[in-house]
Amino acid sequence: MQDFIRGQRAKLSQLAPATTRFTLEVRAQSVAISVFDFVCFGIDANGQLSDDRFMVFFNQKSAPGDAITLENLADKNATFAFDFDKLPASIARLVFTISVDGAGTMRDLGASELMFKADGQTLMRYAFSGADFDKEGALILADIYRKDNVWRVWASGQGFAGDLSALLAHFGGEVVEESAPAPVQNLVSSSIQTPPSAPISDPAILSAPANHTATPPAVAAVVALGELQKTLDGAATGATIRLPRGEYRGPIRIARALTIEGAGAVIWAQNGPVVAIASADVTLRGVQIEVTDGSGGGENDVALKVEGAAPTLERVEVRGRVVGMNHETADDWQLPVALDLGEFAPRALNSWRFAVKVPVDCQLKTSVSGLQLKPAQLDAGAHEIEIVASGIGPDTFLAGQIEVQHAGLVRPIPLSGRTARADANATVAQRKRVGGA
């Protein structure tokens, strides 16, 4: 047996009897390091692991044809057996490595050894310890390589900064970057005939862990078709029904004395009348009544219909016609369906005009700050209203409404517009006419 020192080399023929079968045994000692990884890399003449099957380690304990096998694997020692006769010609070198699995570095190694054997006899021994190393996480302990058709052994004892992955990267060599597949064109079809369907799989969102359930905030209550009517029908005469903020599907018919209070609740139906009042002593407070379609004529566009005595209304916003109340016939009201102010100059004084006709005295208000309405008080009759905008910054969208208020009813005129971007050269004030009476 020969004791090798770090870096020493020899021809196998000088050490071994005429055999092609050998074992290489590594015994490591360490208190700080509890588990080591042992690997034999069978690499090609270019120093690359060109065939992954020749990486023999804890999860692949043999190479093809049992040319290399890993036997007696434990946390701190391992034995590899190999047979040159079974190795393909493409394998030019066997590299035996040890690496730290977990914390610690090779400085923490105790008295350790590598033994190269044939037929049960130790041919060579290489002793190594932490004194030889520092912060390395992996070592190449020995190389058995073919040069000039002669197999040689080298107690390389070469340190590596990383761990098993660093070794793998080293022998993986310059693995070609994942090649970019050829571009594909025109995959978004524009001729899909089916209606838009709801997503069937979970969306690719910033997802929460699977078992995390979030409770939706109690912002909105959704009441299905008929539910609100059932609530009304089941209420005692004179009762107050409080609707939390949310949307309530109508139509509904109120046939007894009741108060409905909604903190911004919306009662809606595709076609009207959305709310029909057929009883005296009905109060509506703080609700919005909306027709969402309203086409088809007749009363389809009616939001509120009063069939008997006038109800008490406090801030009831209607989107659609009101019928059955004094002064509330459709033809007497001529309001623009919506006002689009278009794009206008930021920070400048801008003004627009539109026409209205109202059958009663009304008050005009706007929900958009930075806008003024002139006049804001209207007598019954036709009027030209001026909207004045001042001091609105660039790249600002306006979205709100002008409210025509009378006797507790609010008729909204939706309003939109935008200021030009800061870099746009548009500082001239505008005066123009919008909407249609």
Partner 1 sequence: MAAKTRSATLDNGRIIEYNTEVIGEGGMKTVHFTPDKSSVVCFFKDKTVGTDPQRRARLQSIVGPFNPTTDPEVGEYWSELFCWPSGVVAQPEIGVVAPTYPANFFFETGNFKGKEKQAKWFTSPKLRSYLPPEELGDWLKYVHISTRLARAVRRMHSAGLAHSDLSNKNVLIDPKTGGAVIIDCDSLVVPQIYPPDVLGTPGYIAPEVLATQKLKLTNPKRNLPGIPTDRYALAVLIYEYLLGRHPLRGPKVNSTISGEEDELLSMGERALWIEDPRDQSNRPDDAFLRVPYTKLGPYLAPLFERAFGEGLHQPNARPDAGSWEQALAKTTDLLHPCPNINCPQKWFVFDASDKSCPWCGTQISGPVPILNFYREGSKGQFKSDNHRLVVWQHQRLFKWHIYDNQYAGERADRHPQAYFAIQNGGWWLINQASEAMVVVAGASVPNKLIATNAGEILRDDMQIRLSRAPNGRLAVVQMA
Residues between 106 and 165 that touch partner 1 (CB under 8 A): 161, 165
Rounded to an integer, what distance in angstroms lies between the CA atom of residue 406 and that of residue 295? 26
Smallest distance from partner 1 to CB 68, Å: 15
Interface with partner 1 (CB under 8 A), residue from 110, 359, 400, 408: 400
Smallest distance from partner 1 to CB 396, Å: 5
Smallest distance from partner 1 to CB 39, Å: 11
Q: Which is nearer to partner 1, 120 or 203 (CB)?
A: 203
Could you tell me the CA-to-CA distances from 195 to 186, 192, 198, 293 in Å, in that order? 21, 8, 10, 21
Q: Which is nearer to partner 1, 89 or 200 (CB)?
A: 200
Supply the Cα-derived Rg of the chain in whole angstroms: 43
Residue 106: φ, ψ to 5°: -65, -15
Residues 410-429 that bind partner 1 (CB under 8 A): 414-416
Angle at 295 between CA 289 and CA 297, to 5 degrees: 100
Q: Contact at 8 Å (CB) between 271 and 249?
A: no
Interface with partner 1 (CB under 8 A), residue from 120, 195, 297, 298: 195
Interface with partner 1 (CB under 8 A), residue from 46, 59, 149, 425: 59
Q: Which is nearer to partner 1, 258 or 415 (CB)?
A: 415
Interface with partner 1 (CB under 8 A), residue from 1, 376, 382, 399: 399
Structure tokens at 180: 């970019």
Residues 283-302 that bind partner 1 (CB under 8 A): 290, 292
Smallest distance from partner 1 to CB 111, Å: 19
Q: Contact at 8 Å (CB) between 258 and 237?
A: yes
- Dihedral-angle region of residue 246 (phi above 0 means left; psi in -120 to 50 means alpha; beta otherwise): left
**218 contacts partner 1 (rule: CB under 8 A):** no
Interface with partner 1 (CB under 8 A), residue from 149, 194, 237, 377: 194
Residues 330-349 that bind partner 1 (CB under 8 A): 337-338, 340
Interface with partner 1 (CB under 8 A), residue from 198, 234, 236, 297: 198
- Collapsed DSSP state (helix, strand, coil) of residue 53: helix
**221 contacts partner 1 (rule: CB under 8 A):** yes
Residue 192: φ, ψ to 5°: -75, 125
Handedness of CA 156, 93, 171, 122 (dihedral sign): negative
Q: Name, in order, each residue with C-beta under 8 angstroms of 265's C-beta and a sequence gap of 6 or more.
A: 243, 244, 245, 246, 247, 248, 286, 287, 288
Smallest distance from partner 1 to CB 147, Å: 27
Smallest distance from partner 1 to CB 212, Å: 5
User: Among candidates 332, 336, 337, which has minimal Cα distance to 322?
Assistant: 332
**244 contacts partner 1 (rule: CB under 8 A):** no
User: Which residue is associated with the tokens 């079968």?
Assistant: 21
**180 contacts partner 1 (rule: CB under 8 A):** yes
**64 contacts partner 1 (rule: CB under 8 A):** no
